[in-house]
Every structure is written in C-alpha cells, then in structure tokens.
Chains A and B, each alone.
Chain A
C-alpha cells in the first residue's frame, strides 16, 4: 500500500482543527483554487476549517513559526481572482465553520456574528426579530461577513446603498486575528470596561476602517459587530425612461442632491441592457423607496416622481421594467429573474466613480468594452448599468456573458478585464472589490508615499509576510 505524502504541516494542523477538518487531497485543494471569475487558479498546499477564534489563532501562530503563507477563505464568491498565497504550500483557512450569530442586542441596536456566517443567513436571523443590517446586495447569499469586509472597499454596497452609502458606516467593530496570532478588537471593544461594541469612534483612534477592504492582508476577521436598524417592511418603486443619457443624468443628479434621500435604490440601465432584458430600448431609470408605512412610501415616491418629470422623464409601464423593479423591491431567485439573468458564465466588471464623472465613466468604460469585443470578433451578451451609492458616488457595472468552453473567449475576457481596470484607475475610477487582480491594479496607481505607508503598516502587523502575501502589488 502506498504511503500518503501529506503537507508538511498536516499533523500540526490536524492537531489544531481536528483531522476531519484538514485536507490536502488534490481535489479539495483544486476546489479552493478559483473564485467565480475567469482568472487562472492558485492551488495552495492544504486547507483547514477551524471552528473557533482560538483555532484560528493557533493556525496563524503555526504559519508564523514556519513562514507559511495563509490564505483566508470565506464564501468564495470573489470575482477577480483568488489570492496568490504560495502555490503548493500555502494554508487555506476556510472560515465557514465560524458561522454563528453571537448576539442580537436590541437595546443597543447592534448585532455580532462570527466572520464565516453568510450575510444572507445573518440578515435572515435578524429579520426574524424585525431588524436588518446593511450588507452587500449581491452576492448576499454566498458572501460571508469576513469575506465582504475584507474584499469589498467600504464593506460593500447594500440594498439601500443609494441612500446610505457604503456598509462601513454601519460596522461598529471587528475582532481580528492579527498575522502574529494576537487578537485585536476594534471599535469600543478596545475599552476593557465595555462589553457592548456600540460605536467605532470612541475609546481611541478607530482602527476598524483599516481592516475594511484590506483584502485580508492585515489579519483574519473572526467576528464583526454591525449597527442594526428596524427592517423596512415596505419597499415600492418604479421606472422611468429618458430620451438621452444627459436627461437621465439630470434626474439622477437632482435626486442625489436631496438629503436625507427619499429613495433606497437609484439605478440606470442603458438601452442596450434594456433590450437584453426584453424591454424597450431606452435609457431607463429605476428607483425603490423603502419605509415603515404606506404614507411614508407615498410621500417619498411623490418626491422622486416630481424630479423625474422635471428632468423630462416618462414613467415606465413596460412589464419587463416593472418586473425588474419588483425584483429590486422584494428580491428574487435567479430562476425567477428570467432568461436574461441566467445565461451562465459572466464576467462582471465594476468601477466606482464620483457622481460628476458618471457620464464620462459610463461612456468611456462601455465603449471600451464594446470596441474590444468587436475587435476580437467576440459575440457576447452584455449588460451595463449604474447604481448610486450614497449621494456622490456611483457604481458602473458591466456584465459580459461568455462561453467558457471557448479558449479564445477566456483569453479575450481576461485581456478586456485587465485593460478595463487599468483605464478606470488611470482616470481615478476605482474597482469596487479589493481582490487579487483589482488590488494589483489599484496598487499600481499608488503614490510612492502611499505605498511606503502601506508597506510600513503591513510590516508592523505582519513581520513575516504570511497573511495573504502579494495581494497589494509586491507587499
């Protein structure tokens, strides 16, 4: 019988997490080697599934002692490539066994969960008590708390992002296992006399934002505390069509000026995208209002509609548009969204730009993609849209649906993807994810001073550079 040759740390990791929860089988490693995107995989050396903060600490200490790179793993719904780690050697730390809601503190309006819980599950448990937290709208069902706070700048944009901006505003604190194995509680948890993590600003400088969008390079998040709000039971919305992008933008901007925002979501779709959804080929604007009573929704809706009218928009009554609005209001499974949402493999490219540059960003990025697809003679379905995030920021999104069995397409998509973010970053428009390939592009455009600052922090936190090394350029 052939003796199985295990990873050099197999026995130590098995002693920490239990042998059941450690694997170096090739097929297990392979399944952890890619995210949802088209990028080539990185196969690490071993996977461990710890069940507690203590186990995470021990794994990190072991990695430090042996100079072995650690790749934290959450819901695995990234889109721009998995961390490089150290192929054949690195430890993937799958955090999805840390999946408990630890507290729902209704008096202090905050809830704490372990970092490996899926946001959807966390939010559902809060919903059972009438509460909610701001989490990313998608992939709400597969992202974990830790994954989202690490890989999405600002902690992502949620279902009410147009009104409230980025989720970071609602993260009270985090418990992080630092790369040396020590534990840091950010937020008011820094005060030994407090056991409620109720606001991040007090008890010393707020280190919470430093770990949000760090791409997992500064430590492993094991817990996070969010500020809760009473869930909005009513969500209603509508659509409007405009003759030109300029008209639509006028409406979009006039609504962004209102504070507090009467809407939860504002989004715009190009004629191209509307055609893909089987709707009239027009510039289309969609909005959703969320609230506690019909009266509140009626008032908010009236306000939005007045702005639409002033900008020359026509209220949309196309069933396809209304179906899309409904989807934004109540949520729908992919199966229920219809054909346009389900052609299979897609490459999603998203950048964030300031409101004043939305038109330029939309035109530049959409035409770049169109041109490159045409040049390569790649017939692909596309979908392009933008969503307001807070009043002065907008996400421009582009989906390209492609055939992954065709090598030519895969190569083409990778090239377009690279150029897309390069062009965006050169304009100052940033990817809305901090994942392998977007981090690389972002780091390329840092000033030397910013690079040095980052390098200093990274060195101080992670002297042996074991925590997700190589995520930010050569850091």
Chain B
C-alpha cells in the first residue's frame, strides 16, 4: 500500500483554492511559498499543485516517476501553506490539509519504489553508515568537546547535541555547553548519540528513521529533560517519534525554551553589552510545526542582552519566511535553498539589522551560505552565541 493512501482524506479535502500561496488577512498579502518563488513555478511547485498531484496518484491517474520524484524534492516542508490554509478537522482540531505530511508520504513512496533522487539516497546511506548525514565518522562526534569535560553519565538533564552542531556548527554546541555550565546546570550527553532521524523522515526514509528514533529513545532513557539545539531535532522528538508509536519517557525542550525558563526564574541574566542591531529568524520547526510555536522565548532572550537593539523584520512568527534549508532541500536543491535564504538577508537589511539571529544550526548554515554567496555584510549568529558572549563565557 502507498504511504500516501494514509492521507486520502486530507488530499481529497483540499479545495485547491490557492490560499496556501498568498496570505489573506486584513486587506494585505504577501507570498507564502518560498519554493514557488524560486522554482520554475508550474503548479506542482506550489502546495495546491502538489495536493492535486497527490490526488492524481490516489485516483490512479498518475504514477510516480523519477521526474515527479525530482519535483517532489522541492518543498522545504516549512508549513507556511498550512498556516495560511487553516482548514482544520472539525473533530480533532488538527490541520486538515497538511501539505508537508502529504509531501513526505509521497517521498516515502518514491523511496519505497526505488525512485529516490541521488541526494536522498546519499542521505540515507550516510546516516545508515555513520549515524549522521554529513558522512563524518561517528567516532568523531565528540571531537568538538575535547577539553570541555562533558559527562557521559546518565544525568537527569541531557543535552542532545544533534549532527549539525556536532560536525558543522560546533560553535553552537560549545557555547551551549558553556552556558549550561556557567548557569550551574548539571547535565550530560549520551555517548552513542545518533541522528534524530529528521532528515530521513523529511526525505521519505521512514524505516531507517524509526531505527534512529528507537535507538535514541533507548539511549536517553533515564533522563527527565532532553535539551536540543536544533529545531529539526525537537520536532523529531516531540512530533515525529510519537507518530512512530514511541511515547517519550522524557520531556524534550528546545534550548530557547530551557534558557527562557531560567531567565523567567531569574537564574539567567545576560550582563555583557553587545551593541548591535539584531533581528530574529523564526525556524519553521520550532514555530509553525509546534503545537504552540516557540516565538516569544527567543525574542525575550535576545532583548534581555544589554546593548541589543532588536529589530523585527518582515514575515515573522507564524508567517515567517522559511530559510529554505529544511525538508531535505539542502541536499536536493542546494541552489534554491541559498536563493531563498537570500530573501531573508533582504528582509533583515530592510529591518536595518546588522545581524540575523536564529535558533537552529541548520538555519544558521543556510543563511551563512547566502551571506557568502551574495557578499552580504550581515552577521549571522545562533542565539546561544550571543547569550554565551553576554554571559561572559
């Protein structure tokens, strides 16, 4: 049976009205789908068109092909479309026309039928072999932490670092550890940390993702709180693992929620002055993807840093413009992801910001790539970097 079959009701509920493409509110609009803006723009490159294609498959009018598989890669699963559509199931209250889930189901079908694009195959094979999507040796996962004296013991609070922070954005991992230590939080990490499975789920490798998830849940048993740096990891823990039948035996929180809570309790007080005009980019996975989007805590943390002049940019919070990197796009459509991130640089510049801050290592990577590609002078930070600096660590 096709994975898509599970979403028949959702697919057939789509009215194809197109509200998913343009925001409709208060007599003003803006475009919603970054992929539509940066692709060749035929209907299947927008959410409504993808739902139409899904329906064609379910009706037996269309078949999966390699050409279709390639087009299906062009969605960052940012959920901007779902936010604008808003159609909810009258009984459950859940979003009824969840385009990212339908897209991921189609990607899973494509993988199961042996039609996966090369980039998708590469992700799966790297993660299967190395437990991370970067083809880095798993035994080097903790190389960044040399000298930091991390505890690998079973602690009540575990910092789940995630592949991107371990291998590509080590500064985020280091700063997070230093912040937690500075605040006197007893915590540990799990030595045999594997990829959370998010990249696999986004690209249709469901069985392998489940293997990663089960391993991680087993390794994390005993923890009460698991902190993640990565927006994708927290979405995997909170939303994807339960959908795979795993009830979490711990509370999974994003670093901004954790630090925001400490600030509310008066235990975190940024002191060092950072004189900078900064804006904040909302990662989709901790925003729209969450039941209650994490929007306020990161902003509150930034505003608490002395000297920070906070600037809000165009399209934020639930209406945020995706950075473009999610949903496997970075591997399948690398050029498009950088073009989409370039939009964000423009938004930040229009807001008169000197720095764009996010709270996701993958967003930071992609926005940094856009800065390099365009020669922009904009500085790019993860929120933990500025907090670490302000806390003097």
Instruction: Please list the residues of chain A having a beta carbon within 8 angstroms of any beta carbon in chain B.
Output: 20-21, 23, 25-28, 30-36, 47, 49, 75-77, 94, 96-97, 118, 120-121, 123-124, 127, 139-142, 159, 330-337, 339, 342-346, 403-405
Contacts and interface: CB of A to CB of B under 8 A. Distances in A.
Given A26-B62, A47-B42, A332 B21 contact: no
Please classify the interface of chain A as helix (H, G, I), strand (E, B), loop, or mixed, using the class held by over half of its residues: loop
B87 A343 contact: yes
Contact of A27 (B8, B71, B96, B97): B71
A118 B88 contact: no
Given A97-B41, A141-B29, A30 B24 contact: no
Contact of A142 (B18, B27, B61, B87): B18
A141 B23 contact: yes
17 contacts: A28-B44, A30-B52, A31-B52, A31-B56, A33-B52, A121-B29, A124-B28, A142-B18, A142-B19, A159-B27, A330-B26, A330-B27, A333-B86, A334-B19, A335-B86, A337-B86, A346-B15
Nearest to B44: A31
B30 interface: yes
Given A25-B68, A31-B44, 4 more contacts: A21-B41, A27-B65, A96-B41, A142-B18
Contacts of B52: 30-31, 33-34
B6 interface: no
Contact of A23 (B42, B83, B97): B42
Contacts of B85: 334-335
B40 A404 contact: no
A374 B43 CA distance: 37
B22 interface: yes
A77 B42 contact: no
Contacts of A142: 17-19, 21-22
Interface size class of B (residues with CB under 8 A): 35 or more
A410 to B, nearest CB: 10
Contacts of A23: 40, 42
B42 A31 contact: yes
B24 to A, nearest CB: 4
Given A27-B53, A27-B62, A127-B28, A334 B68 contact: no
Contact of A35 (B16, B21, B26, B90): B16
B333 to A, nearest CB: 14
A127 B25 CA distance: 13
Given A124-B30, A334-B24, A335-B86, A404 B13 contact: yes
B185 interface: no
A332 B23 CA distance: 10
A332 B28 CA distance: 10
Contacts of B48: 76
B9 interface: yes
A23 B22 CA distance: 24
Contacts of B14: 344-345
Contacts of B27: 123-124, 127, 159, 330-331
Contacts of A140: 24
Nearest to A404: B12
Interface in B76-134: 83-88, 90, 96-97
B53 A31 contact: yes
A77 B17 contact: yes
Q: Which 7 A-B pairs have the closest CB atoms?
A: A335-B86, A142-B18, A31-B43, A344-B13, A120-B29, A141-B24, A31-B49
Contact of A335 (B18, B21, B29, B84): B84
A27 B19 contact: no
Contacts of B1: none
Contact of A30 (B18, B53, B83): B53
B53 to A, nearest CB: 5
B42 A339 contact: no
B67 interface: yes
Contacts of A32: 43
Contacts of A33: 52
B23 A333 contact: yes
B13 A345 contact: yes
B16 A76 contact: yes
Nearest to A19: B40
A47 B44 CA distance: 12
Contact of B24 (A96, A120, A345): A120
B94 to A, nearest CB: 12
Given A31-B44, A334-B85, A139 B71 contact: no
A23 B53 CA distance: 15
Contact of B56 (A27, A121, A346): A27
A32 B61 CA distance: 13
Contacts of A345: 12-15
A330 B68 CA distance: 41
A138 to B, nearest CB: 9
B13 A331 contact: no
Nearest to B18: A142
Contact of A141 (B15, B22, B67, B86): B22
A331 B96 contact: no
Interface centre among A27, A35, A123, A404 (most CB of B within 10 A): A27
A405 B18 contact: no
Contact of B25 (A47, A75, A77, A336): A336
A49 B41 CA distance: 8
A30 B58 CA distance: 13
Given A96-B41, A343-B87, A404-B13, A331 B53 contact: no
Nearest to A232: B27
B19 to A, nearest CB: 5
A237 B13 CA distance: 33
A94 B44 CA distance: 13
Interface string B44-61: 100011001100100001
B16 A339 contact: no
Interface centre among A25, A31, A142 (most CB of B within 10 A): A31
Contacts of A97: 41
A288 to B, nearest CB: 12
